[in-house]
Amino acid sequence: MAGDKSKNYILWFSEIGIEDVPMVGGKNASLGEMYRKLHDQGINVPNGFAITAYAYRYFLKYAGIEEEIKKILKDLDTADLYNLMRKGREVRNIIRHAEFPPDLTHAIYEAYDKLAEEFGQAGLDNLDVAIRSSATAEDLPDASFAGQQDTFLNVRGKISVLDACKKCFASLFTNRAISYRHDKGFDQFEVSLSIAVQKMVRSDSAYSGVIFSIDTETGFKDAVFITAAYGLGENVVQGVVNPDEYYVFKPALKKGKRAIISRKAGDRDIKMVYSLEDDSTVKNVATTLAERHRYVLDDDEILQLARWACIIEDHYSKEAGYFKPMDIEWAKDGDGKTVGSGKLFVVQARPETIHSQKSSSTYETYRLIEKGEILVQGTSVGTKVGQGVANVIETSAEIGKFREGEVLITSMTDPDWEPIMKSASAIVTNKGGRTCHAAIVSRELGIPCVIGTGNADEVIKTGQKVTVSCCEGETGYVYDGLLKYEVQTTNPDEIPRTRTRIMLNVGIPEKAFTQGMIPNDGVGLAREEFIINSHIGIHPLALINYEELKRKAKKDQIVAGVVYKIDEITLVYENKTDFFIDKLAEGISRIAAGFYPNDVIVRLSDFKTNEYENLLGGYLYEPKENNPMLGWRGASRYYDEAFKPAFELECRAIHKARSEVGLTNIKVMVPFCRTPEEGKKVIALMKEFGLTQAEDGLEIYVMCEIPSNVIAADQFAEIFDGFSIGSN
């Protein structure tokens, strides 16, 4: 930016950009960059101003406390937790009790009044603002200072703003920040602190969350990952709630498709809102029944946030001259009726610091060789396995009891825990989602972590030997005992190319992003059965006949139990058949996205009657067969009047994945087709349900698995686009 700003106490977002990190820190520089350059592309950033790093250094000099702080930190020993805690406390007390320079105080008051005037609150001294720390080394690609300095929300009035600023300055010397700088080789005074004073976005009356422009666990570059929870965003960052999770496929999104490939509902128990009590500016309250019965974000909001993530990523990548994935915080400003504008806002954006820094072309694959008793399960962070003796730590005051190499078991972590987190072999928490503190730090440290287990600190006991597995997909498991596992290292560049196309068999959607990175020519067999079993779990006819089951439930306790479980599983769906279509479409879409643009051949459901019976409500619709292997399955089931409505749901799901999401690399395969006539019937039925052969490149294959497929191969070849032999 033009002009010498190096000795300004205050700089407005309209005056700063990404080149101003030394003056205003990474957070402020990024806010200014977006406020100035991305507004015309539709991205909303709430206005505010930066209290500069120069102002921070001036404060230290005016107060005469720098030498005193240096003296305290002279014999710092970060390996001694009590030494670290004592010295950190002493330094923070010095800063909090130091005197603010009068001219700096005046500059802050004047800027706050000007911001209040912009929002129609001139002279009221009551504008609600967020006070956020912005360290001058924070958010650099090789130095993730995530959450190490404090944030204060719903701060009102000049005196309160000044007090929060002083607390922010002091938070540059929290125990975790001191330890982190020491371990990363930063001089304690090499890092200065700037402060962002930003108009609050009223997400207390709406919702908020985090966006990553790549997948946090695998580094898959073609997905936007969004989390969302009701209320202010601190609950998401701190891991107090398990937020909703959404994935959007970038290549299809950029073509104008509604490319949502996954939705996962989180917890809806509490939300953080404004507090009118004197001792706190925010508080947690229970969510409403209506909030618990829907996804936090609607599809239009998911897509808008994903588009913004792509714009922000593209902008920062262009500025940097290399691919630069981003970590973004967002919030919605009230409902637009009684509170706020109802618009979405970006309140922070910083470089993603884990996968963007990986340069190795090798892949490590962890695999458990043996199984044990599952103690708890939750969301996996990373793809590794860790094990050791469990140590249940309830509060940060007890962290001195933790020993290197132990497995940390706790309710949730915050930055105060970082000194012991780095020495843990694995971490397990009761609460939190993929973007909470425990997840961010574990990812950065390369430590396996299972979050959101619910009750790990009750089930697991201190001294118990456990194995923490994050190598089995999105669900992480904690097993009793020290289980055997292996680690395989692969360099794809060393794998020779073959003349024969190599396609993978894939069943688990959550593994598709990782498996798609293996050299391949696509997916030769994607089974619907795993998706239906694990992501749906309900017989499709039970969903279709839901209203009828509700009537029967009044007289039949077993049916009542089925209805209760259906309601529990489909909580956010009023229309129960939409649940089946969405979940199947999302599972298929995630696999197809992971391997895009290579072909993905999806086999239609091939459950046998005894397997369908195991689904919730299945006993109501499945006959008893002596030999289910040769019974009511495959093509003959699809066109049977008793099952045709269920087959329609399958076809609608595949049509959604291909047409709405835009994944036209999906092909379809028909299993257990006994005769050419059956093949013709099924293809005609698929067309009736939205899947027309050759439309948008749709190919339909047949499984070659019974003698008639070979004997009548010429006739089958005239009907289908290809065969699959022995891919089961």
Chain segment 456-493, per-residue pLDDT in tens: 999 999 999 999 999 998 899 999 999 999 999 888 77
Confidence check: pLDDT of 76 > 50: yes
Residue 727 banded pLDDT, cuts 50, 70, 90: low
CA gap 348, 27 in Å, rounded: 7
Residues 193 and 238 in one domain: no
pLDDT at 645: 98
Flag whether 498 is in a domain.
Answer: no
Tell me the average pLDDT across 220-232.
96
The range of the structural domain enclosing residue 677 comes to: 504-725
Highest mean pLDDT among 38-47, 268-277, 489-498 belongs to 38-47
Residue 593 banded pLDDT, cuts 50, 70, 90: very high
Structure tokens given for 414:
């915050």
pLDDT at 726: 66
Tell me the average pLDDT across 2-29.
91
Number of H helices, E strands in the chain: 26, 28
Residues 132 and 168 in one domain: yes
Highest mean pLDDT among 143-147, 198-202, 441-445 belongs to 198-202
Q: What are residue 152's DSSP bridge partners?
A: 131
Residue 728 banded pLDDT, cuts 50, 70, 90: low
Least confident of 1-10, 346-355, 617-626: 1-10
Residues 407 and 349 in one domain: no
Confidence check: pLDDT of 331 > 50: yes
pLDDT at 3: 63
Residues 23 and 137 in one domain: yes
CA gap 598, 219 in Å, rounded: 19
Residues 576 and 484 in one domain: no
Tell me the average pLDDT across 241-260.
97
Which of 228, 322, 297 has the alpha carbon at shortest distance from 266? 228
Confidence check: pLDDT of 277 > 80: no
Residues 705 and 718 in one domain: yes
What's the whole-number average pLDDT of the chain?
92
Of 354, 383, 417, the last residue of a domain is 354
Confidence check: pLDDT of 357 > 80: no
Of 460, 490, 520, the last residue of a domain is 490
CA gap 688, 650 in Å, rounded: 12
Neighbours of 290 (CB within 10 A): 8
Which of 211, 206, 209 has the alpha carbon at shortest distance from 231? 206
Percentage of residues in the chain having pLDDT higher than 90: 76
Q: What are residue 211's DSSP bridge partners?
A: 226, 328
- CA geometry: angle 673, 676, 682, nearest 5 deg: 60
Q: Is 272 helix (H, G, I), strand (E, B) or coil?
A: strand
> What DSSP state is assigned to residue 605?
P
Tell me the average pLDDT across 206-218.
94
Residues 449 and 539 in one domain: no
Q: Are 393 and 409 in contact (CB under 8 A)?
A: yes
Confidence check: pLDDT of 386 > 70: yes
Confidence check: pLDDT of 578 > 90: yes
Q: Are 323 and 347 in contact (CB under 8 A)?
A: no
Q: What DSSP letter does each residue of 456-488 carry, written as one string? A: HHHHS-TT-EEEEE--SSSEEEEEES---EEEE
Confidence check: pLDDT of 416 > 90: no
CA gyration radius, the chain: 28
Which amino acid, residue 24?
V
Q: What are phi and psi of 43, to 5 degrees?
A: -90, 125
Residues 485 and 616 in one domain: no
pLDDT at 636: 95
Q: What is the 3-state secondary structure (H, E, C) of 49-72?
A: EEECHHHHHHHHHHHCCHHHHHHH
**Predicted confidence (pLDDT) per residue in 302-329, tens digit:** 999 999 999 999 999 999 999 999 999 9
Confidence check: pLDDT of 361 > 70: no
Flag whether 574 is in a domain.
Answer: yes
Structure tokens given for 462:
């201190």
Q: In sequence order, which residues have a C-beta less than 8 Å from that of residue 285 and are 6 or more positions away?
A: 270, 271, 273
CA gap 479, 371 in Å, rounded: 8
Residues 477 and 529 in one domain: no
3-state class percentages of the chain: helix first, strand second, coil last, to nearest 5: 40, 20, 40
**Predicted confidence (pLDDT) per residue in 699-717, tens digit:** 999 999 999 999 999 999 9
Instruction: Choose between 361 and 39: higher pLDDT.
Output: 39
CATH number, domain at 258? Answer: 3.30.470.20
Residues 178 and 258 in one domain: no
pLDDT at 139: 43
Tell me the average pLDDT across 7-12.
96
Least confident of 60-74, 155-169, 176-190, 201-215: 176-190
Q: Is the pTM of this model over 0.85?
A: yes
Q: In sequence order, which residues have a C-beta less than 8 Å from that of residue 517 and are 6 or more positions away?
A: 218, 220, 363, 492
Confidence check: pLDDT of 145 > 90: no
Per the structure, the count of domains in the chain is 4
Structure tokens given for 123:
């002279």
pLDDT at 187: 83
Residue 358 banded pLDDT, cuts 50, 70, 90: low
pLDDT at 127: 96
Flag whether 3 is in a domain.
Answer: no
pLDDT at 557: 96
Confidence check: pLDDT of 144 > 50: no
Confidence check: pLDDT of 1 > 60: no
Flag whether 496 is in a domain.
Answer: no
Tell me the average pLDDT across 672-694.
97
CATH number, domain at 98? Answer: 3.30.1490.20
Of 180, 199, 218, the last residue of a domain is 199
Flag whether 1 is in a domain.
Answer: no
Residues 83 and 146 in one domain: yes
pLDDT at 650: 98
Least confident of 122-131, 238-247, 270-279, 502-511: 270-279
Flag whether 4 is in a domain.
Answer: no
Flag whether 320 is in a domain.
Answer: yes
Instruction: Choose between 601 and 443: higher pLDDT.
Output: 601
Structure tokens given for 664:
């036209």
Flag whether 495 is in a domain.
Answer: no
CATH number, domain at 444? Answer: 3.50.30.10
Confidence check: pLDDT of 259 > 70: yes
Beta strands in 594-684 (DSSP E): 600-603, 666-670
Neighbours of 461 (CB within 10 A): 13
Residues 168 and 83 in one domain: yes
